[in-house]
């Protein structure tokens, strides 16, 4: 039986550049960097975030896409302001959704798009 999501992998062009962005700009904790296998992994709670480089011609098309990945935050507006000061490019400023949560959309240096997600206070009650 599946109990939770364990890992999400995103394809980037340059792991060293990605390391600086995800660790130093976003503040994620590096779990490991396997340079031999072109693999970075960040501890993001129950689900890890891994980064790798394209492994073939088809995988190059996976760089610079909408990932569908959301980073949970307590306060989306405060996180948005902090990341804007660090020159993170946003496509969507924080907004409240009909279902009660708040979201903002940003991209990494390779154009991969992510969301900041603040769940409604009654989520999972």
User: Which residues does 3 contact at the CB level (< 8 Å), separation at least 6?
Assistant: none
pLDDT of res. 32: 96
For the chain, which residues make up each domain, given as ranges?
A: 1-56, 64-125
| pLDDT one digit per residue (tens) for the chain, 125 residues | 999 999 999 999 999 999 999 999 999 999 999 999 999 999 999 999 999 999 999 999 999 999 999 999 999 999 999 999 999 999 999 999 999 999 999 999 999 999 999 998 766 65
Do the beta carbons of residue 15 and residue 33 sit within 8 Å? yes
CATH architecture of 64-125: Roll (3.10)
- How far is residue 52 from each of residues 8, 42, 67, 117, measured CA to CA in Å? 11, 12, 14, 24
Specify the fold of 1-56.
2,3-Dihydroxybiphenyl 1,2-Dioxygenase; domain 1 (3.10.180)
Nearest-angstrom CA–CA distance, 94 and 79:
10
Fold matches, 1-56 and 64-125: yes
Query: What pTM value is reported for the model?
Result: 0.91
- Report residue 63 CA to chain centroid gap: 13
């Amino acid at each position: 039986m599946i109990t939770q999501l364990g890992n999400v992998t995103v394809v980037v062009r340059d792991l060293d550049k990605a390391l600086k962005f995800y660790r130093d700009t976003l503040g994620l904790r590096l779990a490991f960097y396997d340079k031999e296998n072109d693999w970075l992994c960040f501890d993001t709670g129950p689900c890890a975030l891994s980064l790798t480089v394209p492994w073939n011609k088809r995988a190059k098309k996976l760089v610079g896409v909408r990932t569908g990945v959301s980073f949970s935050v307590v306060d989306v507006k405060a996180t948005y302001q902090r990341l804007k000061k660090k020159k993170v490019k946003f496509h969507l400023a924080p907004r409240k959704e009909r279902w009660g949560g708040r979201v903002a959309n940003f991209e990494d240096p390779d154009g991969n798009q992510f969301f900041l997600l603040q769940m409604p206070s009654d989520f999972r009650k």
